[in-house]
Amino acid sequence: MFDIWQEIYGTIKRNKLRTFLTGFAVAWGIFMLIVLLGAGNGIIHAFDQSSSERALNSIRIFPGWTSKPYAGLKEGRRVRLENSDLEATEKYFPNQVISAGATVRQGNVNVSFGQEYVNISLMGVHPNYTEVETVKTADGRFINQNDLKERRKVIVLHKKTAEILFGKTHTEPIGQFVNASGVAYQVVGIYNDQGDREASEAYIPFSTLQTIYNKGEQLNNIIFTTKNLETIESNEFFEANYRKVIGANRRFDPQDNSAIWIWNRFTDYMRTQNAMGMLRTAIWVIGIFTLLSGIVGVSNIMLITVKERTREFGIRKALGAKPLSILWLIIVESVTITTLFGYIGMVAGIAVTEWMNSAFGNQTMDAGMFQQTMFSNPTVDLGIAVQATLTLIIAGTLAGFFPAKKAVSISPIEALRAD
């Protein structure tokens, strides 16, 4: 075995430039595969992270504008959701809806404590709001059913808002009363959220906001969590029935998708998962074909090597060398070149993914109501490295197999005729 390694070393040493250029093609192929896989993982990890922070079995209903005439009414009407639509959600879908709530907003409210004040929006919510959105109570509690039922004047402030109002006096916020444009609210909780996006909002009971700020029966959107809807088809069937119920309340065509917008996180998740699967496949296909271009180069260079050593292989056979030994020599040389340069490319690729992770490992995008993580942890795991190793060994074997067969087929007479 030592003799084989000596011969391989001697061949590589005699053809340094040719070996380097051939190996570079292999290194570049595996480098691109690792970098593409890392970038793809960054997108996939970001999606999984964002999905885990919100209830996937949740749906939000937003009002829209009609795009079709209905029952003598023209298109272009503004649809306004009301409390009766929330009640219909719970009444007509008991087997699909776990808990339902709604939100209503009052903007441009000055909230003060002593000499400090902030201008924020008040959001009237139900207790199920924290089940759906990334609002995490940092201290105290969130809005509960008794607050809603009794229309209590309680408020949950963002952590940053509490620091502005109470930070200078070092006052404990929980239990204190703040003035919101002439209305006193007792602070019952402090919350955090994803990326501190909602620092300009405070939460109060839904019923309290509707009453104090004369919202009547109107609401901004309906939020609920679902059960027994485990496929895209069952969710689409539910959405169609839901449009019929709300369409009957608000008098619009159930087929009019513009009248209300249904944000179903489960169907979005499933469709995105399918897209992520296609992304993984595309990355592997692109990476493998890039690697194959390098493997073809290795195969070609091995064919040239065999041609140059025709006389040598013929003499070996004349002296009694077994065909298997010649076959083994060429294949081992091919695998050595492929694996050596492949690992160089792999290490370089992993280094780049680690740099990507440190530089861009937590990229977010403002998605309106919240911040969406777009890129997270763009690295490859040990399993990918093992797969890449096996790919290199198999590729090296294939690259050397056909040149090796050609070397085995060389006869002593053909060797004598060689230049």
Q: Which residues contact 396 (CB under 8 A, 6 or more apart)?
A: 295, 298, 331, 334, 335, 336, 337, 338, 339, 342
Q: Is residue 100 located within the same domain as residue 202?
A: yes
Give the pLDDT band of residue 362 (cuts 50, 70, 90): low
Helix %, strand %, coil % of the chain (to 5): 55, 20, 25
Q: Is residue 45 part of a domain?
A: no
Residue 344 and residue 280 share a domain: yes
Exposed, middle or buried by CB within 10 Å (0-12, 13-18, 19+), for 270? middle
Alpha-carbon span 283 to 385, nearest angstrom? 15
Same domain flag for 251 and 277:
no
Give the span between the Cα atoms of 51 and 58, in whole angstroms: 11
Q: Is the pLDDT reported for residue 387 higher than 50?
A: yes
Question: Both 75 and 203 in a single domain?
Answer: yes
Average pLDDT, the chain: 82
Question: Which residue from 236, 224, 203 is spatially nearest to 60, judged by alpha carbons?
Answer: 224
Q: What is the pLDDT of residues 268-285, one digit of tens each?
A: 878 877 877 887 788 778
| Helical segments of 361-381, H only | none
The verdict on residue 28 lying in a domain is: no
229 and 82 fall within a common domain: yes
Measured between alpha carbons, how far is 389 from 153 in angstroms, rounded to an integer?
64
Residue 263: in which H helix or E strand, if any? strand 260-264
Query: Which of the listed residues 206, 232, 262 is the one where a domain comes to its end?
Result: 262
Q: How many helices (H) and strands (E) does the chain have?
A: 13, 12
Of 214, 246, 262, the residue at which a domain comes to its end is 262
Distance, in Å, from the CA atom of 400 to the CA atom of 411, rounded to the nearest integer, reads 19
Question: What confidence category does residue 18 fall into, taking pLDDT thresholds of 50, 70 and 90?
Answer: confident
Q: Is pLDDT larger for residue 191 or for residue 304? A: 191
Return the amino acid letter for 99. Answer: S
Structural domain boundaries enclosing 280? 267-415
Assess if residue 176 is contained within a domain.
Answer: yes
> Could you tell me the pLDDT band of residue 12, with boundaries at 50, 70 and 90?
low
Residue 43 forms part of a structural domain: no
- Give whichever of 51-60, 76-85, 364-373 has the largest mean pLDDT: 76-85
Give the mean pLDDT of 58-62. Answer: 93
pLDDT above 80: residue 230:
yes
d(CA 112, CA 102): 27
Is the pLDDT score of 324 beyond 70?
A: yes
The band of 53, judged by pLDDT with boundaries at 50, 70 and 90, is low
Work out the pLDDT band at 196, boundaries 50, 70, 90: very low
Is residue 35, in this structure, part of any structural domain at all? no
3-state SS, residue 220: coil
Q: Is the pLDDT of residue 207 over 90?
A: yes
Least confident of 93-102, 332-341, 378-387: 378-387
Asked if the model's pLDDT at residue 194 lies above 60, the reply is no
pLDDT at residue 294 greater than cutoff 90: no
Cα–chain center distance at 60? 21
What's the CA gap between 161 and 171, in Å, rounded? 13
Q: Which residues contact 366 (CB under 8 A, 6 or more apart)?
A: 197, 372
Which element (helix H / strand E) includes 260? strand 260-264
> pLDDT-derived band of residue 370, with 50, 70 and 90 as boundaries?
very low
Same-domain check for residues 170 and 240: yes
Whether 278 and 186 map to the same domain: the answer is no
Q: What number of other Cβ atoms are within 10 A of residue 310's Cβ? A: 19
What is the spatial distance between Cα 315 and Cα 410, in angstroms, rounded to a whole number?
10
pLDDT at 385: 66
Tell me how far apart the terminal alpha carbons of the chain are, to the nearest angstrom. 29
Classify burial at 219, counting beta carbons within 10 Å of its beta carbon; exposed 0-12, middle 13-18, buried 19 or more. Answer: buried
Using one digit for the tens of pLDDT, what is the confidence trace for 104-113? 999 999 999 9
Q: What is the CA radius of gyration of the chain?
A: 34
Mean pLDDT for the stretch of residues 398-405:
77
Rounded-to-integer distance, Cα 85 and Cα 154, Å: 25
Number of domains in the chain: 2
Instruction: Return the SS3 of 312.
Output: helix
Give, in degrees to the nearest 5, the angle at Cα 320 between 6 and 399: 50
| 61 assigned to some structural domain | yes
Gap between the Cα atoms of 333 and 22, Å rounded? 13
Q: Do residues 101 and 234 share a domain?
A: yes
User: Domain check: are 399 and 302 in the same one?
Assistant: yes
Provide the pLDDT for residue 7.
64
Q: If 0-12 CB within 10 Å is exposed, 13-18 middle and 19+ buried, where does residue 257 land?
A: middle
Residues 347 and 274 in one domain: yes
Share of the chain above pLDDT 70, in %: 84
Q: Does 319 share its domain with 250?
A: no
For residue 369, give the DSSP letter.
S
pTM value?
Answer: 0.65
Asked whether residue 21 is domain-assigned, the answer is no
Domain boundary among 262, 285, 320: 262
Residue 58 pLDDT exceeds 60: yes
Examine the pLDDT at 238 and tell me if it is beyond 50: yes
pLDDT in tens, 100-156: 999 999 999 999 999 999 999 999 999 999 888 878 888 999 999 999 999 999 999
β-bridge partners, 178 = 185
Of 239, 232, 234, 235, nearest in space to 273 by CA: 232
User: Do 253 and 301 reside in the same domain of the chain?
Assistant: no
Q: Predicted confidence band at 265 (pLDDT cuts at 50, 70, 90)?
A: confident
Q: Coil, strand, or helix at residue 154?
A: strand
pLDDT exceeds 60 at position 244: yes
CA angle, residues 393, 397, 402, in degrees to nearest 5: 165
Cα 11 from Cα 255, distance rounded (Å): 73
